[in-house]
Structure 1
Amino acid sequence: MSVANIVVIGAGVVGTATGRGFRRHDHKVTFVDTDAAARHRAAELGFLAVEPEALDLMDVNAVFVTVSAPAGERGVDLTHLLDASRALGTALAHTTPDTFTVVVYRSTVPPGTTRKLVTVLEAASNGKAGVDFGVAYCPEYLRAGTAYEDFINPPLVSVGVVGGDELTGEIVCDLHRPFGRAVQFLGVEEAEFQKYVHNLFNAVKISFFNEMRGIASCLEIDDSDEVFRITAITAEGMWNPCYGIADLGPYGGAGLPNDAEAWLKEMERMGVRSALVEAARAVNVRLGGR
């Protein structure tokens, strides 16, 4: 694809990085946002930014949906995604038959969400995904402080295409090809699940070292940062990215089960809680380990 016409729904951190990244390769990018301040920030960066009522998908190749999906009282709050999908469906209803627009969702959502959003698009547009328009889920791996740099230099691009239609896959691949990274196709639910695995692993790792830092203080260990730096070199789980991900059942051997049990007993004796190690051992026992 030479020059694409792209719409980005949501002018927050992810959306702005997405728009800037595609503009870097000379694509035309328009932002849509309900928030006037967000539209103003996009305009200051040189983008056309409009309200949802002004959304026009005529001759648009792809729409990247980057609105938030925050935690709600009963799970993920899909309000913004549902609103965006209704607006997109209405706009799709006004495109000509020769326009095939691909809707790409990027928000972090539970598996099965994208297919629910497809029903909203189809109802509002009176069209069919994979026939009249395409739908894909493409998780983002952006850090807040370096979102643009991460977008233009991704580790890889993961994509799940609803219905597996080839044209949608080709358009998504063409748009990401200039960034020089492999495109990994997954099932839609697998792609949604992978983003949660990605985020939650980072959360657990950070929490583990925070827990160890607190325990180091209880043990009067002065330089825990140096300990962690060395651990990044010695622990296979740190330097081997494939360590622990194979389906080999619970951890075993002589070392890990014994050391986890001994550590927890010692912490109990000292009156110190080691919650993540407790949780790791509980999972191992549930899987048949010790």
Structure 2
Amino acid sequence: MSDKNCKEVGKKTLFTIGEMARLFHMNIRTLRYYDEIGVLKPEYVNEETNYRYYSTVQFERLNTIKYLRALDVPLEKILIFLNEKEVSTILSIFEEQRERVLKKREQLSRIEKKITNRMEQIEAALTAPYGQVIVKQIPQREIVLLEKKITREEDLEPLIRDISKKTYLDDAIFLGKVGVSVSQEDLKNGEFKYFSSIFVILEDEDDFMNKDVVLQEGVYATVRYRGTHEEASSYYAMLLNYLMDSGLHIKGDSIEITMIDAGMTNDHNQYVTELQIPI
């Protein structure tokens, strides 16, 4: 029988690494790696050819490895168990793995919620009437704030990085959640050239503890338009005219959020920005 095929050594039937891989529906590279780290050593290695051979005695060990890997148990934990083969060890591994799974489930639940939030925001941005003033109640929002006078022409990205660096916020949460404000004084004077602050809106799913600033719940006069911050002036004028005609008064700084921006599309015509003025 060829050295590359199933053979008998010392009355044991041995299987080549290729046969072992086929029997257990595995990759040969995985079996070589298991050999390398000591999780599953071959029964016999031909010193001349360096071919690896496995016996049926190792089938149970490999079944155990595959079972534990299916439960996402790390290989180092599997090796500990296989070296000890104690019931208390496997129970400890199962308990630890269950805790990992529960934490992973919580993490996936947060991810699902974040995806849902973002989808709803994008769908709302795409379907909302543009250039139309809408007065609406907006709930309290928690934010991370950087108060700084900024021109509309200024690149906001370095400032966003400043917020990330100073607060240790995960950069992954910034997409579609960065806003800027025009001060109440500038709004009353009809000046829209400067921002008074830049901020990031936080969600519960962001799991950020230092939520020390809030945008108060209240009634806002809002308008959405296709475009970026640079095109906001005429829409601010629209909002202010509406407030004047309606006898309403500005209660605080504006909120200006680009709901669809360069992070989502290269087409500037698809950008959507919303202006909000508390009244």
Structure 2 length-normalised TM? 0.26
Structure richer in helix, relative to its length: 1
Structure richer in strand, relative to its length: 2
Question: Which of structures 1 and 2 has the bigger CA Rg?
Answer: 2
Larger RCO of the pair (alpha carbons < 8 Å, separation 6+): 2
